[in-house]
């Protein structure tokens, strides 16, 4: 068996792959990222959570580019859901874990967002090869993964070796099987989604115009995501009973679903469906809800949709992908530096990743019960996350991705975020005062603002692993 050419090979350049590759490269290791497509490429998953925007993105060092991309600011979510006939709205700002300038996320065109993250990986020293499709893992006589075969754009097959291979090739991954994992599909989340794009749709009244609008109706529920002043992502998540109609005549299916959902029909108004370019078709996804029996195997780590995904409601996909990427990078960096042994490092990765996945999974099962009031959903979130916050805060923290207290923000990160948001039209922060305050007060004020979020990544149990001060590795507590 050849010796490693790379420390790490990352397969797939979505949010999971860009995150893990950047953070391993930042720790000084040699990383190759292989991506099947030429970026920018289309992907669904447009509504982000504050944990990604203010937790992971600053650690990746890409907050300025993301803030300047002109993405829609999302202050929370508006739901027509459960027993209440009128829509109800939650704001991230109600939680002290997402104070002031961190109490928002973005609605993103994934073509642009993923491209920013992939270019950032390259900027941080990752060797990125696009149009390079991994076809097979290379294993040694013990079954440990040692590298991969990939096909370039000319169809030529190459062999590359590394100490670790990360599979972040998304929901279509087959590579994950080389880790020994099996994929278990959820018996509960068995819907399908039909989605497309409109121009000229209405908006929720201010200040909620940037919110995701989720509307339950007799066949399931709709998402309505304002991606720019003119562009809106609209998707119907419906029971598999509608599969024949959706796959046979998606235009007719969408028309019927919209007609059956007056609030979506109203807000769409005279909007026109886009019929050209990457947003010009109907797209269908199903069988998205699964969790693998393990998230790593000898020489291989699984991150993002390659490992697990719950359901589109509450937009947890990119959060799980980027948070999983951060956890995987800490484990790989710890192993490569020799500060933690492999079993402990990957057990830590899996424990924390599964815990976050589990929070969303358990909460969302209860959330699909439409016979409840929003107060019951809030209470359920507090129960699931075992939070000490009140019910509403616990709900907002869970759906903001910060329930696990595991994302590290520093005062400097916060100041940079405030500054970039302040210069953005319609930015969510009352920036001027906060920027001056943070800049003048340096660490202390920032940490006070962050409250319990400072010092995150603490050990889960006495003597366990905690995040290193730079957030890039594990150390013994």
Asked if 35 touches ligand FAD (CB under 6 A), the answer is yes
Distance CA 202, CA 197 (A): 13
Asked if 419 touches ligand FAD (CB under 6 A), the answer is no
Asked if 170 touches ligand FAD (CB under 6 A), the answer is yes
CB of 80 or CB of 438, closer to ligand FAD: 80
CB of 304 or CB of 334, closer to ligand FAD: 304
* From 39-47, 78-86, 238-246, 420-428, span contacting ligand FAD (CB under 6 A): 39-47
Both structure tokens of 40: 């920018």
The DSSP bridge pattern shows strands 127-129 and 31-34 to be parallel
150-169 footprint of ligand FAD as x/- string (CB under 6 A): ------------------xx
The residues near 262 (Cβ < 8 Å, ≥ 6 apart) are: none
Asked if 15 touches ligand FAD (CB under 6 A), the answer is yes
* From 35-43, 123-131, 252-260, 452-460, span contacting ligand FAD (CB under 6 A): 35-43
Asked if 21 touches ligand FAD (CB under 6 A), the answer is no
* From 197-205, 301-309, 390-398, 463-471, span contacting ligand FAD (CB under 6 A): 301-309
In a 3-state reduction of DSSP, which class is residue 392? helix
Asked if 220 touches ligand FAD (CB under 6 A), the answer is no
Question: Could you say which of 134, 268, 399, 428 contacts ligand FAD (CB under 6 A)?
Answer: 134
Q: How far is the CB of 45 from ligand FAD (least distance, A)?
A: 3
In a 3-state reduction of DSSP, which class is residue 35? coil
End-to-end CA distance of the chain: 37
Fill in the DSSP letter of residue 175: G
- The H-or-E segment that residue 150 falls in is strand 145-151
* From 1-9, 37-45, 53-61, 265-273, span contacting ligand FAD (CB under 6 A): 37-45
Interacting residue ranges for ligand FAD, rule: CB under 6 A: 11-17, 34-37, 41, 43-48, 133-134, 168-172, 193, 235, 285, 288, 304-305, 309, 312, 315, 317-319, 321
């Amino acid at each position: 068996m050849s010796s490693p050419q790379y420390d790490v090979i990352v397969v797939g350049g979505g949010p999971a792959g860009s995150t893990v590759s950047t953070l391993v490269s930042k720790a000084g290791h040699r990383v190759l990222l292989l991506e099947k497509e030429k970026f920018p490429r289309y992907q669904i998953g447009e509504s982000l959570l504050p944990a990604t925007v203010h937790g992971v993105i600053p650690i990746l060092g890409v907050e300025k580019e993301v803030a300047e991309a002109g993405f829609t600011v999302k202050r929370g979510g508006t739901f027509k859901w459960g027993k209440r006939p009128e829509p109800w709205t939650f704001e991230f700002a109600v939680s002290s874990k997402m104070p002031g300038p961190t109490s928002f996320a973005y609605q993103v065109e994934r073509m642009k967002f993923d491209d920013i993250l992939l270019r950032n990986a390259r900027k941080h020293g990752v060797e990125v090869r696009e149009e390079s499709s991994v076809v097979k893992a290379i294993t040694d006589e013990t079954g440990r993964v040692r590298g991969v075969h990939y096909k370039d754009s000319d169809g030529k097959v190459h062999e590359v070796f590394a100490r670790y291979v990360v599979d972040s090739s998304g929901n279509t991954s087959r590579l994950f099987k080389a880790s020994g994992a099996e994929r278990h599909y959820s018996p509960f989340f068995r819907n399908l989604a039909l989605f497309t794009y409109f121009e000229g749709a209405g908006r929720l009244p201010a200040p909620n115009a940037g919110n995701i609008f989720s509307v339950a109706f007799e066949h399931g529920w709709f998402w309505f995501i304002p991606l720019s002043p003119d562009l809106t992502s609209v998707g119907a998540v419906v029971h598999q009973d509608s599969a024949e109609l959706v796959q046979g005549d998606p235009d007719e299916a969408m028309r019927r679903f919209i007609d059956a959902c007056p609030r979506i029909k109203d807000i769409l108004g005279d909007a026109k469906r886009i019929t050209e370019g990457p947003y010009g078709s109907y797209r269908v996804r199903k069988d998205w809800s699964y969790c693998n029996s393990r998230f790593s195997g000898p020489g291989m780590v699984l991150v993002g949709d390659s490992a697990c995904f719950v359901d589109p409601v509450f937009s947890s996909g990119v959060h799980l992908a980027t948070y999983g990427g951060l956890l995987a990078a800490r484990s790989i960096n710890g192993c490569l530096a020799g500060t933690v042994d492999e079993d402990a490092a990957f057990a830590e990765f899996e424990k924390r990743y599964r815990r976050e996945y589990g929070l969303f999974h358990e909460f969302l099962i209860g959330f699909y019960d439409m016979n409840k009031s929003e107060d019951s959903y809030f209470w359920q979130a507090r129960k699931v996350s075992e939070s000490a916050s009140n019910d509403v805060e616990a709900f907002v923290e869970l759906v903001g991705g910060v329930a696990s207290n595991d994302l590290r923000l520093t005062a400097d990160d916060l100041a940079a975020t405030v500054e970039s948001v302040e210069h953005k039209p319609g930015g969510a922060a009352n920036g001027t005062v906060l920027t001056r305050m943070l800049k003048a007060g340096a660490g202390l004020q920032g940490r006070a603002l962050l409250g319990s979020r400072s010092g995150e990544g603490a050990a889960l149990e006495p003597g366990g692993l905690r995040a290193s001060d730079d957030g890039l590795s594990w150390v013994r507590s």
